[in-house]
A and B are shown apart, each in its own frame.
Chain A
Amino acid sequence: MKIFDSLQLGKSIGATCQKCAYFRNDPAVIEDAYPGLTIMSSGFASVRDQDGFCDYNELYLSAGDSCPHFVSRTSEFDQGDKTIID
């Protein structure tokens, strides 16, 4: 069944949003972007898992997602001589 094909055990690996240059999930960034979030929840809460913003697709999504527009943070968006550890 298609529904079971869509399920995955464990964390996604490879070119996921977590490693994408367009993805931002710092809790402080999320709280700044959504000013009302801290009234009755928190950017640092477990329920938020590692979700964050995709600045390419303009979505709020899981760090384990992926899409054809992936850009590695260590390539085009490389920040000077800094290498990002994952």
Chain B
Amino acid sequence: MTTNDSETSGIKSSGWKEFWSKEDWWAVWLGLGIVCLAYIFYLAGSSISWIAVAPAKWSTLSQLATQFSKNGIKYVALLAACLIVFTTVVSFVGQKPKAFIPSFIFIFIFSTIIYVLGSWDQANRYNLEPPLMALALGLFISNVIGLPRWLDAGFRVEFFIKLGIVLLGATLPFTLIIWAGPVAILQASIVSLVTFLTIFFVARKLGLDHRLAAVLGAGGAVCGVSASIAVAGAVRAKKEHPPIAISLVVFWAIILIFLLPLVSRVLHLPTGVAGAWIGTSEFADAAGLAAAQSYGNLAGTHLGISGTAEQALASYTLIKVIGRDIWIGIWSLVLALISVTVWERSETNSKVQIGQIWWRFPKFVIGFLIASVLTTLIVHGNTLADYNKLVKPSLIIPITALRTWVFTFSFLSIGLTTRFRELAAAGTKPFIAFTCGVIVNVALGYVLSIIVFGHYWSAIVTH
């Protein structure tokens, strides 16, 4: 009898299978699919806005009730569409659809409540920022009330955030990426290198293993948990190394989600500048987007905060995704080379594969860039008046609404999956090393984002 490899031993092979077995590629297919569908409807003189429903501003409960009696069916349709599409993805990547469906319905209901609360006209007065509400509510449910473990099947933080970033690409002009990309890469590279070296050398000074030092350094410098797990594989880390980095990244990322917007608010930073700082100093994509979106939402409602919500998201994404995330393959290659030639010469007889630069590349970035190019081409040739009157309401706003939904799913999922009791104990020495990196990262991020490139990030144009 012959069976498939994954059925017998859990060994997953790569190659073409990547296209339907990795969440990154599914984020690309779905994100671009949505953009294309939106464009087809737009060309036909219609819009996907019917299903891309979002609560309008409301001030009384009767207004809210009227909204839901009118649009209730649209919310049900959106839930059904999400269930069909996401369950298909879950089945292809090898997760459990049976557990995913009730879990996702749970996420959708709570996300709707958060979205609705965020649309209340008094929400800003009470600091009810949807991303932070989602995170806080999720943390409360998972750590105080508790949920059965099987419900985790629907809390796919990474998948939702990657899909949201591809959709975000559709709302950013490609010219902005070309214009601001080099500065984003320069700023992020400086901070990444300094942060990595700080964590690495402090960890070594404290007597930690080379590989653990590298795993911690990558987590603080590049893209959080994803970087730690990628570098762990590249340098042949001990099994117990990644959980240490995961605990520290999660701990500091959650603190910074609240801290960076708070400090930015005290300093009255323009949204574009705050987004750049958050992109430079937050660790994980989802955590940073929660911080950037919550700060961006303050623009126009809080005195002294200039800019737009889109500027915060744009500068954040440019620095985090273009400046930091896409270099994970290079980091992995370099650290793997150092590992086999210097640190662990006798432990392995294998070579370092150059291909890992591509294999580890976060593929959703391709979707982000293509979505940006597509929208730029679609919008090209329209006057600003046409854009505001036709393109924006029919094409951009519905995509933005869907993006907000998947971001909310992700932010809520962060809280729901963060069970502080279950995180591995990091130990004092890794904590000290990582914390030194956090301090350097946040301080240097502040200097570069506000003092050196502040004029640049405050002026970015997102339409």
Contacts and interface: CB of A to CB of B under 8 A. Distances in A.
Interface string B18-59: 100111110000000000000000000000000000000000
Chain B binding site: helix, strand, loop or mixed by DSSP?
Answer: helix
Given A2-B341, A26-B6, A60 B236 contact: yes
B238 A60 contact: yes
Contact of A49 (B233, B242, B287): B233
Nearest to B14: A50
Nearest to B230: A47
A47 B11 contact: no
Given A39-B157, A68-B349, A50 B354 contact: no
A44 B340 contact: no
Interface in B115-164: 152, 155-159
B12 A50 contact: yes
Given A7-B337, A7-B354, A61-B236, A36 B250 contact: yes
A62 B158 contact: no
A84 B328 contact: no
B355 interface: yes
A6 B339 CA distance: 10
Nearest to A81: B1
Contacts of A82: 1-3, 8
Given A42-B158, A48-B229, A82-B8, A12 B23 contact: no
A67 B349 contact: yes
B1 A40 contact: no
Interface in A6-42: 6-12, 16, 18-19, 21, 23-29, 33-42
B320 interface: no
Nearest to B356: A49
Given A44-B22, A58-B239, A65-B350, A38 B156 contact: yes
B247 interface: yes
B352 to A, nearest CB: 5
Nearest to B361: A46
Given A49-B233, A61-B233, A68-B349, A36 B11 contact: no
B348 A60 contact: no
Contact of B237 (A26, A50, A59, A84): A59
Contact of A44 (B23, B155, B287, B356): B23
B225 A40 contact: yes
A45 to B, nearest CB: 6
B414 A83 contact: no
Contact-residue size bin, chain B (C-beta under 8 Å from the other chain)? 35 or more
Contact of A65 (B157, B225, B236, B360): B236
B170 interface: no
B443 interface: no
Nearest to A66: B350
Contact-residue size bin, chain A (C-beta under 8 Å from the other chain)? 35 or more
Nearest to B227: A47
Given A45-B362, A46-B24, A7 B352 contact: yes
B350 A64 contact: yes
A40 B237 CA distance: 20
Given A34-B242, A46-B361, A49-B356, A40 B414 contact: yes
Nearest to B338: A3
B242 A42 contact: no
A46 B94 contact: no
A41 B11 contact: no
Contacts of B428: none
Contact of A35 (B230, B287, B422): B422
Contacts of A48: 226, 229-230, 233, 360
Contacts of A12: 350-351, 353
Given A29-B10, A37-B225, A67-B349, A6 B243 contact: no
A23 B9 CA distance: 9
Contacts of A39: 157, 225, 246, 250, 414, 417-418
A24 B11 contact: yes
B158 A10 contact: no
B226 A60 contact: no
A40 B250 contact: yes
16 contacts: A8-B352, A26-B10, A36-B250, A36-B423, A37-B229, A38-B417, A41-B157, A45-B24, A46-B24, A47-B361, A47-B362, A50-B13, A61-B236, A64-B353, A82-B1, A82-B2
Given A36-B423, A47-B362, A86-B5, 6 more contacts: A36-B418, A37-B246, A41-B246, A47-B230, A65-B236, A85-B2
Interface of A: 2-3, 5-12, 16, 18-19, 21, 23-29, 33-42, 44-53, 57-68, 73, 77, 79, 81-86
Closest 8 CB pairs of A and B: A51-B233, A26-B10, A40-B284, A42-B158, A8-B351, A41-B225, A36-B246, A46-B24
